[in-house]
Amino acid sequence: MRFITIRAKALLLALLLGAAIAAGSALAYATDAAQVWTSGARSLPVYSVERTDNKIAISFDCAWGVEHTQAILDALAAANVRATFFTVQFWAEEHPDTLKKVSDAGHEVGTHSATHSYMSRLSEAEIRSELASSSQAITQVTGREVTLFRPPYGDYDDLLIDTCRDMGLMPVQWDVDSLDWKDLSAADIAERILSRVKSGSIILCHNNGLHTAEALPIVIDALHAKGFEFVPVGELLYYENYTIDATGRQKLLPSG
């Protein structure tokens, strides 16, 4: 019954959003990710992926609480969408049953660090400890290898990104920020996402956003109608023969 109520609200909000979405689609694309470095040689995570097949990914950062997580899982299941959840170690340890549900539902799980600290302030040894222990904690619950990492607060430096890659983890940011952690309405969350998404986008949400589950049916239905296909972040990325431009957009290198 809870999801039926969410779906009914979503349909009403979708009608109200029609004009706003049409206008938003005409806006020039601009990344929402904080501090994209545009000068100098930098080690960058992936903010988005250059693709022409309309594949996109929706991701959820998990650090505090689980009160709204089941509703999010229900909304994703109803739409047959697989997502990526980036979990902090202490969250994984406090909520192993929820983490197991996420993994068993077919969603991808990456690490969001051990302690949710500003990792650009850490030494290489501390970074390695954070990434190793958090990945191990996730694997102990899910039985799956961790291959993705999202820096807390979107904060990083060359040392973090280089160390992460050396450990076999792909660093991932986002180019579409829902701002759902600010307790925006479902309509506002949906408008922010729908006006910014393009092929290869990575959408940032949170597992315990107050109105995130209510916004998901609006977002998913609208993007499906536009021909977008949701895949986990790991299926969106390139793993060889690629470059990352100054905006964090990952691109395949020309063959030959």
Residue 186 lies in a domain: yes
CATH, residue 183: 3.20.20.370
The residue segments making up the domain with residue 247 are 2-25+51-251
Residue 45 lies in a domain: no
Cα distance between residue 53 and residue 223, in whole Å: 13
Residue 76 lies in a domain: yes
Q: What amino acid positions are annotated as catalytic residues?
A: 61, 206
> pTM for this one?
0.85
Residue 173 lies in a domain: yes
Number of domains in the chain: 1
Residue 201 lies in a domain: yes
Residue 34 lies in a domain: no
pLDDT in tens, 79-127: 999 999 999 999 999 999 999 999 999 999 999 999 999 999 999 999 9
pLDDT score, position 255: 81
Query: C-alpha distances in angstroms, 170 versus 80, 104, 138, 236, 255?
Result: 25, 22, 16, 12, 22
